[in-house]
Amino acid sequence: MDEFDPGNEEIMEATFRALGEQGHRNLTIQDIADEFDKSKSLLYYHYDSKEMLFADLFRYISQKFLEELQLTEGSPKAQLHHLIDRLLPGTIDEERYAAQVALLELRSQIPHVDVYAEQYTEIDSLFKRTVSDIIRTGIEQGQFHEVDPEQEANLLVSAVSGMRTRRLTSADFSVEAARQTLFAHLHTRLFKETASYE
């Protein structure tokens, strides 16, 4: 995946804010410039079109998402718990909310923008691989029941992904109920009673 240039982070934060306020649809580069504290010419120097800026935004958000997929120390059980905590936190701060809204907006453009499609395909695969690797390790260590790691990862990734989108798009969605649903599923289907959390 193309690397995101960390020098442009403040521009990305301004883009988040502009997106959070009025959405993707009618956003102009001027709206983003309005949210950007530094010299506007700096913005125009880096990005001469909205398309370039959004392509970089996708890189930036992808990188943030990949950071959330980084495994923590601990048993496979703890790793799955932490992953759900990071991807579906009980409460969500403004910046993360803006990032999730922006990711949803960019994802919705994937059928029309090839560069987004390539990037998202990579993210989706990595997400699935991360989960199936944890499950495989859990089974090998005798802590998880003998499920099909690929199928179980497919179900979990789809459910978490669906919950993240439902959280943004349905007013009645309860993240607490969603988390309980996931943890209950893992405890029934995956974790043996003896599975260690440490």
Contacts to its own copies by CB under 8 A: 20, 22-25, 101, 104-105, 107-113, 117-118, 120-121, 124-125, 148, 150-151, 154-155, 157-163, 165-166, 168-173, 177-178, 180-182, 184-185, 188-189
Residue number with CB closer to its own copies (158 or 196): 158
Size of the chain, expressed as the number of residues it contains: 198
180 contacts 81 by C-beta, under 8 angstroms:
no
CB 87 within 8 A of CB 158: no
> Which residue, 65 or 120, is less far from its own copies as judged by CB?
120
Q: How far is the CB of 182 from its own copies (least distance, A)?
A: 8
- The gap from C-alpha 16 to its chain's centroid, in whole angstroms, comes to 15
Q: How far is the CB of 41 from its own copies (least distance, A)?
A: 25
**Region for residue 2 given its phi and psi (left: phi exceeds 0; alpha: psi -120 to 50; beta: otherwise):** beta
Q: What φ, ψ does residue 191 adopt, rounded to 5°?
A: -80, 130
Please state, as a whole number, how many other Cβ atoms lie within 10 Å of the Cβ of residue 118: 13
Q: How far apart are CA 66 and CA 58, in angstroms?
A: 12
Minimum CB distance to its own copies smaller for 25 or for 93: 25
**Nearer to its own copies (CB atom), residue 170 or residue 194:** 170
CB of 76 to its own copies, least distance (A): 20
Q: To the nearest whole angstrom, how small is the minimum distance from the Cβ of residue 25 to its own copies?
A: 6
Q: Smaller CB distance to its own copies: residue 70 or 180?
A: 180
Closest distance of CB 33 from its own copies, Å? 19
56: how many CB neighbours lie within 10 A of its CB? 19
